[in-house]
């Protein structure tokens, strides 16, 4: 946990960084924060109006001009990811980072009642889509002199918990895939792959998981950005295949 990390203003200057689920919650905060530290941010998500609002906020601050990439992981095909790679290649020629942040909670319900279609949907959005997107974008990541890929995990991706079903399983798979890929690309020396658990954070997803909780008791997405910055920028060089937390563990 790097909650006290103070990122230099130019931490991500000149870097091209893709943020998935950039329209809301933690992804929105990360996109803005990366742009404020000099990055050209590619805003990916399924609700265009939300992406446009983030785009406008970045433009209003006079930060590097972002790009919008509308994509719904639910219906996205491998071809869509390759088309995306082609577009990004033409536009930028490389990719210096991916924050895999988009996520779907599904339902918190006893496994006996878990709907199979919903299970598939959660796996598609949280792990299968991100995996094939990563495969398509690998050549662009390899073209960067210093790239960082961050997968978003959860406490239930590190220890199973009753009723968390597909969400928990998808986060375990995320941790596993992170380790496999980190090990495969280690020889390159220019690409690091890690996972990050944001910890309980004040967003719409958290609200739907814990409706009775007081949101004021939680950190905001903005408050957990230090670790997101540290892991995306060069200060985390030498770390790969590791699991990080964006907040100190609860006492
Ligand atoms: P939000 O629900 O606020 O944001 C999730 C984002 O993912 C939204 O921008 C949403 O888009 C996008 N998204 C959802 N489904 C799709 C899809 N099919 N295709 C493309 N984009 C999609 O959640 P958080 O900000 O809280 O969560 C961000 C990440 O952090 C997730 O991976 C979550 O699992 C993880 N996390 C969050 C915790 C918390 O306490 N908040 C704790 C542990 C982990 P749209 O707005 O258009 O629906």
- pLDDT of res. 211: 96
pLDDT value for 104? 98
Query: 87 in a domain, yes or no?
Result: yes
CB 73 within 8 A of CB 102: yes
Nearest CA to ligand 1 atom 33: 103
Ligand 1 center–CA 171 separation, angstroms: 13
Percent of the chain, pLDDT > 70? Answer: 100
Tell me, in angstroms, the distance from the centre of ligand 1 to residue 27's CA: 7
Distance CA 226, CA 14 (A): 19
Closest Cα to atom 37 of ligand 1: 198
Q: Catalytic positions, please?
A: 167
- Name the residue with the closest Cα to ligand 1, atom 19: 72
How many A from CA of 206 to the centre of ligand 1? Answer: 9
d(CA 73, CA 171): 16
pLDDT tens-digit readout, 112-141: 999 999 999 999 999 999 999 999 999 999
Residue 233, in any domain of the structure: yes
pLDDT tens-digit map of 183-200? 999 999 999 999 999 999
ipTM above 0.90, yes or no: yes
**Residue 167, domain member (yes or no):** yes
CA distance 51 to 14: 21
Identify whether 3 is part of a domain. Answer: no
Pocket of ligand 1 contains residue 24 by CB under 6 Å? yes
Which residue's entry shows tokens 């941010």?
A: 41
Please tell me the distance between residue 16's alpha carbon and the centre of ligand 1 in angstroms: 21
CA distance 140 to 86: 9
Which CATH number fits the domain that encloses residue 21?
A: 3.40.50.720
Task: Please indicate, yes or no, if residue 50 is contained in any of the structural domains.
Answer: yes
Residues 6+ apart with CB under 8 A from 145: 190
How many domains are there within the chain?
A: 1
10 belongs to a structural domain:
no
Nearest ligand 1 atom to alpha carbon 23: 9
Domain that holds residue 72: 16-245
Residue 8 inside a domain? The answer is no
Read off the tokens for 163: 């009723």
Q: Is 193 helix (H, G, I), strand (E, B) or coil?
A: strand
pLDDT value of position 251: 56
pTM surpassing 0.90?
yes
Whether residue 111 is contained in a domain is answered as yes
Instruction: For residue range 143-176, list pLDDT tens digits in order.
Output: 999 999 999 999 999 999 999 999 999 999 999 9
70 by DSSP, 3-state: which?
strand
Number of Cβ within a 10 Å radius of residue 147:
26
> Largest Cα–Cα distance in the chain?
52
């Amino acid at each position: 946990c790097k909650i006290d990390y103070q990122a230099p203003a130019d931490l991500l200057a000149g870097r091209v960084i893709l943020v998935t689920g950039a329209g809301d919650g933690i992804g929105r905060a990360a996109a803005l924060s990366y742009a404020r530290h000099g990055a050209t941010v590619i805003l990916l998500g399924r609700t265009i109006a939300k992406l446009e609002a983030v785009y406008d906020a970045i433009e209003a601050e006079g930060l590097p001009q972002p790009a919008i990439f509308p994509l719904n992981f639910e219906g996205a095909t491998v071809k869509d990811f390759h088309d995306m790679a082609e577009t990004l290649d033409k536009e930028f020629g490389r990719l210096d980072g991916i924050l895999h942040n988009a996520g779907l909670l599904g339902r918190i319900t006893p496994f006996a009642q878990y709907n199979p279609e919903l299970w598939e949907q959660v796996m598609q959005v949280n792990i299968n889509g991100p995996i094939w997107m990563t495969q398509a974008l690998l050549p662009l990541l390899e073209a960067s002199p210093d790239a960082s890929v961050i997968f978003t995990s959860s406490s239930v991706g590190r220890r199973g918990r009753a009723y968390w079903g597909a969400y928990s399983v998808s986060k375990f798979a995320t941790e596993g895939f992170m380790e496999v890929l980190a090990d495969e690309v280690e020889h390159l020396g220019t690409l690091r792959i890690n996972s990050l658990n944001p910890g309980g954070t004040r967003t719409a997803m958290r609200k739907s998981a814990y409706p009775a909780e007081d949101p004021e008791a939680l950190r905001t997405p903005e408050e957990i950005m230090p670790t997101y910055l540290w892991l995306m920028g060069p200060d985390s060089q030498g770390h790969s295949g590791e699991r990080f937390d964006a907040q100190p563990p609860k006492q």
